[in-house]
Amino acid sequence: MLQKTALFDSLQGKLTGDHVSRSRRSLGDLSNVFLNEEERLRMNPDQHVYEVEMHDSCGEVEGGLFFGVSHVHPGKVGDEYFMTKGHFHQKRNRAEYYWGISGEGLLLLMDEARVCRVEKVFPGSLHFIAGHIAHRLVNTGSSSLVVGACWPSDAGHDYESIQKDGFSIRVMEKNGEPVFVKQ
């Protein structure tokens, strides 16, 4: 029997087909993510910040994989670039791969001791995210930052740790360039 499958458009970074789910985060969904909460509250709460498409053909099982694409839109809250919420994995030892499809931005990587490092994301870049590392995408460009991802289907997402303590650095625009501000 011929099974239906998902399709991945590598030029556009679009995922379609069976077992593909989509989620969208708007400014109204991202309370206390950005440094300038007052500015975020003055902005349109329906303005999209990022979307994620995910292919799930196996469920959350050990040995399975999920495949996804994140689209982080250009924009800023005050001087801070649009970004994803960021997360650790619930099963902390689970690793992940990201790869740049289009746009430009940064991948923030923070260990459990809150030591942070940054990698540039661009079309063709490949990023290994080891276990026990929180990760967040930041769009520093003028078009959408589109990034592919593949991770263990049983990894889970721990957004709460990041919501509570944030990342140890922020990426702000100063004189037209991204700068890092320690927290």
CATH 2.60.120.10 fits 12-182, yes or no: yes
Amino acid identity of 82? F
Closest CA to 56 of 10, 17, 11: 17
Mean per-residue pLDDT, 86-106: 98
pLDDT mean across residues, the chain: 95
Residue 143 burial by Cβ neighbours in a 10 Å radius (0-12, 13-18, 19+): exposed
In this prediction, residue 179 carries a pLDDT of 97
Domain boundaries, the chain: 12-182
Instruction: Return phi, psi of residue 29, to 5°.
Output: -90, -5
In this prediction, residue 99 carries a pLDDT of 97
Closest CA to 125 of 144, 152, 102: 102
Confidence class of residue 1 from pLDDT cuts 50, 70 and 90?
A: low
Mean per-residue pLDDT, 38-45: 98
Closest CA to 131 of 85, 91, 86: 91
User: What is the distance, to the nearest Å, from the Cα of residue 15 to the centroid of all Cα atoms in its chain?
Assistant: 16
pTM, 2 dp: 0.94
Confidence class of residue 30 from pLDDT cuts 50, 70 and 90?
A: very high
